[in-house]
Amino acid sequence: MESLKKQVGYASVNYIKDGMTVGLGTGSTAYYMVEKLGQEIKKGNLNITAVTTSKKTAEQAESLGIPLKDLNEVDWIDVTIDGADEIDPQFQGIKGGGGAHLIEKIVASYSNQVIWIVDESKMVNQLGDFPLPLEVIPFGHQKLEKILQEKGYHPETRLTKEGQLFTTDNDNFIIDLHLKNITDPHALAQELSQLPGIVEHGLFLDMVDIVLVGRNGQVETLKAP
């Protein structure tokens, strides 16, 4: 699976052209995209400006000599390349397994084109088996978790491997919803957006243009309708 991630991550750099402003995603597959981009810049093949979606990606990009700017410093983003945790046949997705979905969604929303890069395990018939992450403010998060529990959404505040509360780059917490299946992603997204305390949910709906899938040793290109 790691070789598929590397293959699709490297292949995605072909969509980056000289002079572009590029959104750099976060995660294990996006890592390889950033790695390959750094190689091309070092060779002198590309001259681009990048906007990152997490501190982790920013650190990797800086170490590779990729020029970075804050989102506020650019007019627009030509293309954002990012991973995903689940993608259904309608090209709707769940992101946020790494806890960066708030910034990932902001960056994607200011992009002319969004490309998701995944291995074949992320392609599913229906969203929901992967826990749906919610970035929430710390104030009242336990009350919010109780409300979500009463709704039958099986919430669980995310912890680190050391058992501490997981904190995002924005100093917020993550509540994961163990839903198993999501029959109406748009209705759920609207409901969650109206709950005070939820900064952003991990449903990425009607946002992606192209999905690159590593499957059987090949990179398959899927275009959203």
- Residues in contact with 158: Cβ distance below 8 Å, sequence separation at least 6, in sequence order: 99, 133, 165, 166, 173, 174, 175, 176
Query: Is 82 annotated in some ligand binding site?
Result: yes
Query: Is 85 annotated in some ligand binding site?
Result: yes
Query: Is 98 annotated in some ligand binding site?
Result: yes
Query: Is 223 annotated in some ligand binding site?
Result: no
Query: Is 100 annotated in some ligand binding site?
Result: no
Catalytic-role residue among 40, 59, 73, 104 = 104
Q: Length of the chain in residues, anyone? A: 225
Query: Is 84 annotated in some ligand binding site?
Result: yes
Q: What is the CA radius of gyration of the chain?
A: 17
Query: Is 99 annotated in some ligand binding site?
Result: no
Q: Which of 112, 130, 137, 116 is nearest to 200 (CA)?
A: 137
Query: Is 95 annotated in some ligand binding site?
Result: yes
Give the amino acid at 110.
Y
Can 104 be counted among the known catalytic residues? yes
Q: From CA 169, how far away is CA 125, in angstroms rounded?
A: 31
> Which residues participate in the annotated binding site for substrate?
26-29, 82-85, 95-98, 122
Active site residues: 104
Instruction: Indicate the annotated binding residues.
Output: 26-29, 82-85, 95-98, 122
